[in-house]
Amino acid sequence: MTYHVPYYNKGVTSMTEDRRVRRTQKLLGEALIAEALEKGYKNITIQDVTRRADVGYRTYFRHYTGLDELLVSVAQDRLDDFYQILDLPLPGEMLEDPLDFFHRVGHTLFQFVHDNQENFRFLLLDDSLRFVLDPVMSRARQKTEIYLAALPRKNIPADLAADHIISSVFSLMRWWLENDLRHSPQKMGDIFSNLIIKPTWLVMTGEKLSSD
């Protein structure tokens, strides 16, 4: 006999399925990173990942077409996690106290990298994974451009400034990881503000960003 789910239960069923999907994707992502750190990304297979995640091989293809797609998804998730932790205000609101805002962004960013350094070492220090960073950096540029476009004066285009900031930030994160986290996350946040944000702010707005 076939039983049909009553209409009023469909929302609950959908939520349960969504949680199951997210859990499966999380397990696969964690397994991918673990396998890649142990063996190198080029040396692992989908079977390695599904075995480690304890997820069926066929189930994998309900979510991803291959390993590259899963890896890009993992990288995008880390970016989304960062934005969620940062709890960004609406564009324009940061202008009330921009120095404090950028200090908070910098400290939060490098603390996040510190707390997830295995993932970032894997994603940022392997030159063969450029295909992963490109879409992640593109999304970060788009979000940054939205904030820069809200500045009162723009001596250079917001998209150009956003590209400069994001490219510089990723280079700074890579330098930090290559040098074994030589400075504290707080110090790196200050470097981020002094080396990247303040000069860019000055060029864009004609105003010096300082606490004076």
Query: What residue spans define the domains of the chain?
Result: 1-64, 66-212
Burial class (CB within 10 angstroms; exposed 0-12, middle 13-18, buried 19+) of 202: middle
Radius of gyration, CA atoms only, the chain:
21
**pLDDT over 50 (residue 6):** no
Options 1.10.10.60, 3.40.50.300, 3.20.20.70, 1.10.645.10; CATH of 1-64: 1.10.10.60
**Distance, CA of 2 to CA of 69 (rounded, Å):** 37
**Distance, CA of 105 to CA of 62 (rounded, Å):** 37
**What is the mean predicted confidence (pLDDT) over 184-201?**
94
**Distance, CA of 92 to CA of 158 (rounded, Å):** 14
Please report which confidence band the pLDDT of residue 7 belongs to, taking 50, 70 and 90 as the band edges. very low
Residue 63 CA neighbour count, 13 Å, CB half: 26
88 or 38, greater pLDDT: 38
**pLDDT over 90 (residue 152):** no
**pLDDT over 50 (residue 64):** yes
Dihedral sign, CA of 33, 37, 43, 47? negative
The structural architecture, per CATH, of the domain 66-212 is Orthogonal Bundle (1.10)
Please report which confidence band the pLDDT of residue 28 belongs to, taking 50, 70 and 90 as the band edges. very high
pLDDT at 27: 95
Phi-psi region of 40 (alpha: psi -120 to 50; beta: other; left: phi over 0): left
